[in-house]
Amino acid sequence: MKDIIRYLASLPRRQKQFVFVAMDVCVLPLIMWLVYAIRLAKPNVPVMQGLDFWYLYVGMFGVLIFALLGIYSAIVRSFNEDYLLRISIATFIQIVGLYAIKKLDLAFIPMSIPLMYGFMLFSWMWWSRAVIRYATLKTFAKKQNRKRVAIYGAGLAGQQIAAALFRSDDYLPVCFIDDKASLQGQSLSGLNIYSPKRISNKLGKFQIEEILLAMPSVGRARKKEIIESFELADVKIMELPGVTQLVDGQVKVSDIREVDIIDLLGRDPVPPKAELLEKNIKDKVVMVTGAGGSIGSELCRQIVKHQPKILVLFEMSEFALYSIDRELQNSAVQIVPVLGSVTNQTKLERVIAAYQVQTVYHAAAYKHVPLVEANPFEGIYNTSIGTARSVDAAVNQGVETFVLISTDKAVRPTNVMGASKRMAELYCQALASMNPKTQISIVRFGNVLGSSGSVVPLFKKQIATGGPVTVTHPDVTRYFMTIPEAAQLVIQAGAMGTGGDVFLLDMGEPVKIVDLAKQMIRLSGFKPIDEKGLGDIEIQFTGLRPGEKLYEELLIDHGNVEKTEHQRILKSYEIFYSYNEIFNIFNDLKVYVNHNQISELLSILVKYVDGYKPHLNSNN
């Protein structure tokens, strides 16, 4: 039998359609004879008296209607509501046709015959296709390789993905999980619906390997609660994308993906304020320094959405510039890629003047703490002096707005990277105090998920290779934010500036890195090795790296903070130095960098950067 099914399934599409047509042409007259026989309770009964060759008319007319409604062009394995609706319409048309024949006295048709024929015709079309679909799926299914899945969410998305999984060779849906008490204990698509508490005891019994979150519209906070409720279960968590991605309304197996790590933050983004996003961008010439970096490139993506006149990409890495330039060339905005360093003030001024730049987002900086700690002169030269030359170029050329993108590592830093950022902040604050025409603002925030300096890509690689996952210290904590949210908030904060402002982005609650590592391991379907040595992937503590802190802060002075019109943006008033003093200090920095005078360089950082204590292992 399986050989016959395989043979038929391997036929070309046209031949398969011919088989179905031939089958229906033969069966439809039999159905008509059967309803007459049932009505009179005897097999030897005249059918449609007065109409010669009635069996040809019944068979050909029925097949024609089914063909016009696309019954034969549909794939039987995609047996769904649309297919049943087409069969229903075709059946109704044939019932009406029989009544029309009766009305015109073309044949003897009792009143009950059309309805009886319609019922049996619909049953035939439904059950014949269902049996063929079932037999085909059973024949070709790879049961031994199919992953057993529980679907969390018995809504429309859950029902659609269940139907898709039944047709797939890779997954086998076992049951539904749903929070609604009214659904629990019921059955849907042949699958039982369980409460989250009850299913926890049955995961092992049902041999469930994965839990699929089929709730596209649920918020991150609720999704985080669900994920954490299965932490002790030996299952992998997968999900369907959000409602914005499922635009066609049809869920497919290919839509299944791993849970995005940003859902572990448990924080839903706040809708941006359109007027703030557009204020410094729409119909203006905008330049982004460090345009190829993690933050810089996302800033560029957000900027082109708000129709600037020109977007200038300023970047020192050829490959990074090529990548973001190529990505943005399809936008309707004029993109100008410029290869250069922010330490070259002459070139900066030439570019700003040539394109009449009005807004500058300064994202160029070194961000890897250990590398800058080992190379302090390059860190100071690129981040501190580079920022000074960038903002000087902007002021000299009459740029309207200059926004420095800073970091929480600038607050009481224990490393050169953070100290170099704080020096950059001090220069911008001092210059802003001179009331130039350029509005200068600083936006400070913590780690962004997925950036080149984030632990997330590192953890993913380590988990993929079987571990170990390396964490510096059991108590180390960090603030995290998604790159798109950070970029949007940077743009909005810059639009609220009045000059010399220090804006702080609300990063939510700090996250322990070891907890993040454990959650990522569990989401991948593994268990972190515990104290007893049980589990799949080991977490190793390597010790704090040179200059690394256990935790980061966003505020230097907690007493001088006020809210802004945006609930995720705060404004801080911090002590800074006069421009003349900072200008002289930066001249000294240049000399110390050029002459490799490390002790003099560190003495400046200790004096002017609040809380800085040098911890250096220098290569230069």
Q: Tell whether the model's pLDDT for residue 600 goes beyond 80.
A: yes
At which of 81, 106, 140 does a domain end? 140
Q: How confident is the model at residue 247 (pLDDT cuts 50, 70, 90)?
A: very low
Domain stop point among 110, 140, 170: 140
- Average pLDDT on 185-204 reads 83
pLDDT at 356: 96
According to DSSP, residue 329 is labeled T
34 and 62 belong to one structural domain? yes
Among 168-177, 264-273, 299-308, 324-333, the least confident range: 264-273
First-to-last C-alpha distance (Å) of the chain? 77
Question: Tokens for 369?
Answer: 């703490």
Q: Is 409 a catalytic residue?
A: yes
Give the CATH number, domain containing residue 446. Answer: 3.40.50.720
Whether omega for the bond prior to residue 370 falls within 30 degrees of 0, making it cis, is no
pTM: 0.66
Sign of CA dihedral 546, 547, 548, 551: positive
Residue 354 is predicted with a pLDDT of 96
pLDDT of residue 243: 46
**Of residues 81 and 220, more confidently modeled:** 220
Residue corresponding to tokens 């007319």: 61
Distance in angstroms (rounded) separating the CA atoms of residues 376 and 379: 5
pLDDT digits 0-9 by tens, 429-453 = 999 999 899 999 999 887 776 555 5
Check residue 246 and give its pLDDT. 46
Closest listed residue to residue 391, CA positions, set 380, 405, 377: 405
**Residues 369 and 435 both lie in one domain:** yes
If asked whether residues 198 and 112 sit together in one domain, one would say no
Same-domain pairing of 50 and 130: yes
More confident residue, 78 or 54: 54
Q: How many domains does the chain have?
A: 3
pLDDT at residue number 58: 86
Q: List % helix, strand, coil for the chain (3-state, nearest 5).
A: 45, 15, 40
| Spatial CA neighbour of 250 closest among 374, 78, 500 | 78
The answer, yes or no, to whether residue 234 has pLDDT greater than 80, is: no
**Domain identity same for 427 and 442:** yes
- Assign residue 166 a region (left: φ > 0; alpha: ψ between -120 and 50; beta: otherwise): alpha
pLDDT score for 264: 66
CA dist., res. 341 & res. 420, Å (int): 17
Rounded to the nearest integer, the mean pLDDT of the chain is 83
Q: How far, in Å, CA of 608 to CA of 425, rounded?
A: 11
- Answer yes or no: do 205 and 299 share one domain: no
Whether residue 166 is found in the same domain as residue 110: no
Whether 376 and 420 map to the same domain: the answer is: yes
Q: Which range among 76-80, 109-113, 550-554 has the greatest average pLDDT?
A: 109-113
Annotated catalytic residue, options 147, 409, 518, 571: 409
- Weakest-pLDDT range from 258-267, 418-427, 565-574: 258-267
| Torsion angle in degrees (nearest 10) through CA of 93, 95, 98, 99 | -100
Contacts of 100 (CB under 8 A, 6+ apart): none
The larger pLDDT score, comparing residue 237 to residue 264, is at: 237
pLDDT at 137: 64
* Per-residue buried b or exposed e for 56-81, using 16+ beta carbons within 10 Å of the residue's own CB: ebbbebbbebbbebebbebebeebee
438 domain residue, yes or no: yes
| Rounded alpha-carbon distances, angstroms, from residue 220 to 118, 121, 215, 268, 486 | 50, 49, 11, 5, 17
> What average pLDDT score do residues 15-23 get?
81
Choose one of 259, 292, 321: the last residue of a domain. 259
pLDDT of residue 43: 82
> Which two tokens mark 452?
């080149």
Range of the domain at 129: 2-140
Co-location of 356 and 493 in the same domain: yes
∠ at Cα 316 (311, 321), nearest 5°?
A: 50
552 and 423 inside one domain: yes
Q: Which amino acid is at 14?
A: R
Distances (CA, A) of 132 to 8, 78, 220, 458: 11, 12, 42, 49
Q: Work out the pLDDT band at 10, boundaries 50, 70, 90.
A: low
- Structural domain includes residue 74: yes
Q: Are residues 87 and 167 in the same domain?
A: no
One domain, residues 99 and 248: no
